[in-house]
Amino acid sequence: MVADRLRDIKSHYDVVIIGSGLAGLTAANCLAKCGRSVLLLEQHYNFGGMATWFHRKGGHIFDISLHGFPIGMIKSCRKYWTKEISDSIVQLKGIRFDNPQFQLQTTFDRQDFTRILVEEFGIESETVEAFFDAARGMDFYDDQSMTTRELFEKFFPGRSDVVRMLMEPIAYANGSTLDDPAISYGIVFSNFMSKGVYIFRGGTDKLIYMMRQELKANGVDVRKQVLVDRVVVEDGTVRGVMANDKFISCGAVLSNANLKTTIDKLVGHDQLSPEFVAQAKAVRLNNSSCQVFIGIREGETLDHIGDLLFTSVDPEFDSVRLCAKDVTSRTFSMYYPDTRPGSNRYAVVSSTNANWDDWAHLSEDDYQTEKKHLIETTIAALEKYIPDVRKKIDHVEAATPRTFYHYTHQAMGATFGTKFEGLQVSMDLPKQIHGLFHAGSVGIIMSGWLGAINYGVIVANEVDSLCHEDGKSEGRMAS
């Protein structure tokens, strides 16, 4: 018998949240702490969206998106989650680059990058400082016509090696290309450069467990394996959602589903102005990803070769090549036992950027062949750093854009939501339909763990204000 995932739900909630990505989870927590009744609906059997993990036979555990985030996560988690969550965030100090243009190790912060740019790349220190200041000074309301390519050309003309060092890690971190607005690079780059790269010690499983405990303590009604089919709108106002064939009444809906899916499928164009629909249609999705999960047999060990290894044999940085199926530019995330204190296990996860179209339409046979090729080329690349790794591996598997689509319903498996223009559309949604909000990876700058959490907070505040205003007007009508 199929379990009734919506058993005992209330007849009405202040807010229904669609999706338990980091933006949805954080918004739910903030709203519950403001005293709102909140129902969080997640279609998957796990919570966390892309912030997730999985187990495999042989005692393996793999994290999907725990590779690195900026220091801002410490403050955001302390303020909007708990001190315990925030206290588990630790710095990764061994960030390595290995490509035909340079080999180096760095702590990935402004001071060390300045040293490298001046001492190893021979750039004038005034130029480096001016570049950092320009990147740091960018904000959403600036002129957005300058591209990242133009920004680099302004400060480091003809220096493809410098461009590679500054750009490649950020392209992995938010999917931005040289042709995206410079601001989408500048904000994320500056966030990392402030104090380096951090991860959550204990693994994603522990983080999501702690978040669920906190949601429970704050009274959020959390349901998994509930797919929301539709947001119900009448006379331009949200009335509720349809999920698992049930109508659930609410005063506001916050969708953490992909922005385009929210607009095209959950809401539908007939509820929106033609101008807004045209604007939403023009929003481009960001690229997707491939990953190879490499499990090391129990009892085997790996030498420390760095925490994050950006490796490539491509001659120069190239945004198009970075997503190609025969990509050689990849990030190896090394999981040593201290990732999960108390464990003695090692794992390696390789991540590459990828195009949905290269993977989506393959026949099943071709798909399996391409996955095998991806696994083989990845292990071959890893052997350069750990020559005997093959004999230590006892589990390996690959994920592709199809995998990310399957588990999160992100349109085209988009790893980082939408391109820059998606942010305005996401922010304008409540102006179209009273009580409808969106929070989640959009606009490049609001993506990644930190971006998703912070956007969840921003939108939760707007939802709370609306609940407050609507409550006042109901009170006025009743009196």
Ligand X SMILES: Cc1cc2nc3c(=O)[nH]c(=O)nc-3n(C[C@H](O)[C@H](O)[C@H](O)COP(=O)(O)OP(=O)(O)OC[C@H]3O[C@@H](n4cnc5c(N)ncnc54)[C@H](O)[C@@H]3O)c2cc1C
What are the residues binding ligand X (CB under 6 A)?
A: 18-24, 41-44, 49-51, 64-65, 67-69, 227-228, 256-257, 289, 291, 351, 404, 408-410, 415-417, 440-441, 447-450, 452
Shortest spacing between CB 432 and ligand X, in angstroms: 19
Shortest spacing between CB 370 and ligand X, in angstroms: 17
**128 or 423: whose CB is closer to ligand X?**
423
**65 or 319: whose CB is closer to ligand X?**
65
Rounded to the nearest 10°, the torsion over CA 185, 378, 50, 80 is -60
Q: Report which DSSP code applies to 189.
A: H
CA distance 363 to 396: 22
- In degrees, rounded to 5, the angle at the alpha carbon of residue 114 between the alpha carbons of residues 110 and 117 is 135
**13 or 69: whose CB is closer to ligand X?**
69
Strands 237-243, 246-255: pairing kind: antiparallel
Shortest spacing between CB 101 and ligand X, in angstroms: 23
| Residue 316: both structure tokens together | 């120069």
Residue type, position 326, single letter: D
What is the sign, positive or negative, of the torsion defined by CA atoms of 270, 271, 273, 279? Answer: negative
Shortest spacing between CB 211 and ligand X, in angstroms: 12
Shortest spacing between CB 446 and ligand X, in angstroms: 8
**146 or 196: whose CB is closer to ligand X?**
196
End-to-end Cα spacing for the chain = 48
**117 or 166: whose CB is closer to ligand X?**
166
CA distance 131 to 186: 10
CA distance 176 to 185: 7
Shortest spacing between CB 25 and ligand X, in angstroms: 8
- DSSP state string for 152-180: HHHHSTT-HHHHHHHHHHHHHHH---TTS
**22 or 117: whose CB is closer to ligand X?**
22
CA distance 478 to 98: 68
Locus of tokens 């052997």: 383
CA distance 197 to 183: 20
Shortest spacing between CB 158 and ligand X, in angstroms: 31
Distance of CA 296 to the CA centre of its chain: 26
**113 or 404: whose CB is closer to ligand X?**
404
Residues 6+ apart with CB under 8 A from 393: 294, 295, 296, 297, 379
CA distance 380 to 371: 14
**146 or 193: whose CB is closer to ligand X?**
193
- Residue 411's CB is within 10 A of a number of other CB atoms, namely 20
Shortest spacing between CB 393 and ligand X, in angstroms: 20
Q: Report which DSSP code applies to 286.
A: P
Shortest spacing between CB 172 and ligand X, in angstroms: 8
**123 or 415: whose CB is closer to ligand X?**
415
